[in-house]
Structure 1
Amino acid sequence: MSGDNEADLIELAQAGDTKAFEKLYRANVGKIHALCMRLCGCKQLAEDLTQEAFIRAWQKLESFRGDSAFSSWLYRLSSNVAIGYLRQQNKWKMVNFDEISNETILGTDSVHEERPDIEKSLQCLPDQARVVVILHEYLGYQHNEIAQFTGMAVGTSKSHLFRAKSMLQARYRA
């Protein structure tokens, strides 16, 4: 973090220093916005969820103990905010995965030329299966975490992933 130690910034922010929190915000906002885009697929909603995540981070900053990286803590908190919103609003069916590009899912520095167009492949999946694929395969969450985020059973998460992989494999072979 250009000249500022992240641990020092966190400590200052926990003490109420808004300038320190602003530096943490600037260092992480891009990653958090990308996460929200992956989960909701809508730019405006992703912006709103990103802001909500940072508001929640400010409110809960004292609960950060340093057991993990700050970015990991923030990522988890932001995932909870986005998935909680989608679940609360029953937006599973409203998530517009048509707006998600390969760069949104994989990041601009990822290159997967040998794979079929991910955007089109994800579009063929049912909504909940897409969310499970994104959370499990791209964001690295385990099924118990996905179940907790989404309110579905662990077995349902596993079934969605298995079904999605089967559908994608069939599409890749075609």
Structure 2
Amino acid sequence: MSQPVSPNLCDADLAQRAARGDLAAFELIYRSHYRRVFNVICRIVGGVEARAEELAQETFLRAWQAMSTFRAEAALSTWLHRLAVNAALMDLRGRREAEDREVDDAVLDQKAGHCCTGDLRLDLQVAINGLPPRARAVLVLFDLEGWTHEEISEALHMAVGSSKAQLHRARSLLRQRWEAA
């Protein structure tokens, strides 16, 4: 029987305990890291909260299954973040471009109208969500997550030049929509 888990344990200690099958330790990991995992996935999949919720759950399931492979060379939060980004990118890759929802300017304007007027952050998030999936993924990973074009090209299976082009496309589309608003 495992010992009670103190909420004051550091991530490395919790990870060690979880790797030995301690579900209570993993629950503490889940509770302290869920919001960040969910948020990064939500930004990459375009604000589709139900899908982001599913992918966050899958991320933590994978984390539980792979906890014994976690090496404390990097922070647990970094490892979980990478699992989350990979889950979101695999989801984007799994859906064909033709099946992805096309959000035209009219739909984008309608969504923006439902947001609190004047709330710049919500308006920007709606605009980002309306970007084509690959352009959105590159923008989120480069501008919000701080990835390099080399890392993005490897994760999305595209050339570095394509990553740069997608970033330029995303920024141009955002600028156009912002100026039109």
Alpha-carbon distance, 1:172 to partner = 5.3
% identity of equivalent residues? 37
Unaligned runs of 5+ in 1: 103-111
Which of the two has higher C-alpha Rg?
2
Contact 1:116 1:172 in 2 (8 A): no
**Alignment pair present for 1:37 and 2:48:** no
CA RMSD of aligned residues (A): 2.9
TM normalised by structure 1 equals 0.78
Q: Secondary structure at the match of 1:94?
A: coil
**Alignment pair present for 1:85 and 2:84:** no
String of CA shifts for 1:29-87, please: whole Å, max 9, x gaps: 11111111111121111111011000111111122111111001100011101111221
Contact 2:102 2:132 in 1 (8 A): no
**Number of paired residues?**
162
Q: Tell me, in whole angstroms, the C-alpha distance in 1 between the residues paired with 2:98 and 2:156.
A: 10
Q: How does 1:59-70 map to 2 (within 5 A)?
A: 59-70=65-76
Contact 1:33 1:47 in 2 (8 A): yes
Change (3 A) 1:6 1:128: closer
Corresponding letter in the other structure for 1:147: S
Contact 2:131 2:173 in 1 (8 A): yes
Q: Tell me, in whole angstroms, the C-alpha distance in 1 between the residues paired with 2:102 and 2:31.
A: 27
Comparing 160-169 with 38-47, which one deviates more in the overlay?
160-169
Counterpart of 1:108?
Answer: none
Counterpart of 2:115?
Answer: none
**Alignment pair present for 1:140 and 2:146:** yes
Corresponding letter in the other structure for 1:19: A
Q: Tell me, in whole angstroms, the C-alpha distance in 2 between the residues paired with 1:17 and 1:142.
A: 36
Q: How does 1:110-129 map to 2 (within 5 A)?
A: 117-119=123-125, 121-122=127-128, 125-129=131-135
Counterpart of 1:57?
Answer: 63
Counterpart of 2:31?
Answer: 26
Contact 1:57 1:77 in 2 (8 A): yes
Unaligned runs of 5+ in 2: 1-5, 113-118
Q: Tell me, in whole angstroms, the C-alpha distance in 2 between the residues paired with 1:124 and 1:17.
A: 41
